[in-house]
Amino acid sequence: MSTLFPSKPGIERNWHVIDANDVVLGKLASHAAQVLMGKHKPIYTPFLDTGDHVIVINAAKVKLTGRKDTQKVYRSFTGYPGGLVETGVQKVRATRPARIVEDAIFGMLPKTKLGKQMYRKLKVYAGDKHPHAAQKPAPLAVRRKVS
């Protein structure tokens, strides 16, 4: 008997919604990254994109632990000498709150073309509304630490 090998037409892609309200950023990101990669499916193959689509809502209300609210810094480089731009997490949360969640999830995906392909299936929204109701996304719960 031969082993079943997934092919592009045979991969079923579902849509999931994750509510980030009061969820720790790292737990949310690792859970979303596993769903994007397809590790929750029995047909998971490391060199194929077998994952599902993920919608994250309420990204502005994600929780940061420890002193990350004051110490975490996002860095980008313009390409010019002396062009390092450092922005604190409080300013990023005020101007573009979805970036916090996007960067955390992107950092947990593979650093290849396949990882970029997986990242394209991620949709992040700062509020609780999203335009993907036609895809009938199923709610996906992230385990919260009991404290």
- Considering the domain boundaries, does residue 10 fall inside one? no
- Considering the domain boundaries, does residue 48 fall inside one? yes
- Considering the domain boundaries, does residue 71 fall inside one? no
Range of the domain at 51: 15-64+92-139
- Considering the domain boundaries, does residue 116 fall inside one? yes
**What is the model's pTM?**
0.92
Total domains, the chain: 1
Quick: pLDDT tens for 4-46.
Answer: 888 888 899 999 999 999 999 999 999 999 999 999 999 999 9
- Considering the domain boundaries, does residue 70 fall inside one? no
C-alpha pair distances (Å), 128 with each of 24, 85, 138: 17, 30, 15
- Considering the domain boundaries, does residue 58 fall inside one? yes
Report the pLDDT value the prediction gives residue 67, as an integer from 0 to 100: 96
Quick: pLDDT tens for 80-124.
Answer: 999 999 999 999 999 999 999 999 999 999 999 999 999 999 999
Report the pLDDT value the prediction gives residue 18, as an integer from 0 to 100: 97
Residues contacting 125, CB < 8 A, separation 6+: 55, 56, 57, 58, 59, 98
- Considering the domain boundaries, does residue 38 fall inside one? yes
> CATH number of the domain that 135 lies in?
3.90.1180.10
- Considering the domain boundaries, does residue 110 fall inside one? yes
Pairing label, strands 73-77, 84-88? antiparallel
